[in-house]
Structure formats: structure tokens, C-alpha cells
Amino acid sequence: MGKFLTKTGKDGQHYFNLVATNGQVILSSEGYSSASAMNNGIESVKKNAPDDGRYDRETSKNGKYYFNLKASNGQVIGKSEMYESTAGRDNGIESVKKNAPNAPTVEEE
């Protein structure tokens, strides 16, 4: 099972990464001003991850593929890494759908 790794950045902002069982980061957050706001973001990912309609499948300017996970209000709550192919991106989405809903939250050391 995957997990949410949380950390406080040097900028004082709070961040999380959803990490798959193999240790690969599959979703990253924006910075949050407080730990409670970050925890709300994690709960939003857990809630929205199973819904395929919440994913925007995108292509970057350099031709790589990525996705954004959006909340019901349209706000981006997580971004993927860059993928070399649409199949890789789609596998990343499936991994988020599978891992996020029951993933524990662990503070990064």
C-alpha cells in the first residue's frame, strides 16, 4: 500500500507526496500555509482519487505527459511526475486511484 509522506519545506510551507509501494512518488502537492490545511488536502486527495473525472490528462511543452488531480471545486490538489508516454501517465493515474484512498500519512524524517 502507498503512503502520504509529509514535510515542511525550507520556505515554511507544508507539502505531501503520495508514494507508491515501490517508493516512487506518484502525486505531489502544492505548498500549504499550515499543517491542518495540508491534512485537508490529503483528505481531499483520498476522497477524489477514485473518480476518473477528477483527473486532467496533460502534455507539457517538452512533449512529456502528466496529470493533475482536482477537487470538486476545480482546484488542483496534486500533480504527477512527468511521464515519457501516455501509457505511463495512465498507469500513474491508476496507481493514485489504488493507493490514495487508504494510504496512511507519515511524516518524512
Domain definitions of the chain by residue range:
3-107
Kindly tell me if the per-residue pLDDT of 7 is higher than 90.
yes
Q: How high does pLDDT run on average in the chain?
A: 96
**Which pTM does this prediction carry?**
0.94
**In the predicted model, is pLDDT for residue 46 greater than 80?**
yes
Question: 91 is written with which cell numbers?
Answer: 498507469
Cell of 44: 481531499
55: number of Cβ within 10 Å? 21
Could you confirm whether domain 3-107 is CATH 3.50.50.60? no
Alpha helices in the chain (DSSP H): 35-48, 86-99
The answer, yes or no, to whether residue 109 has pLDDT greater than 90, is: no
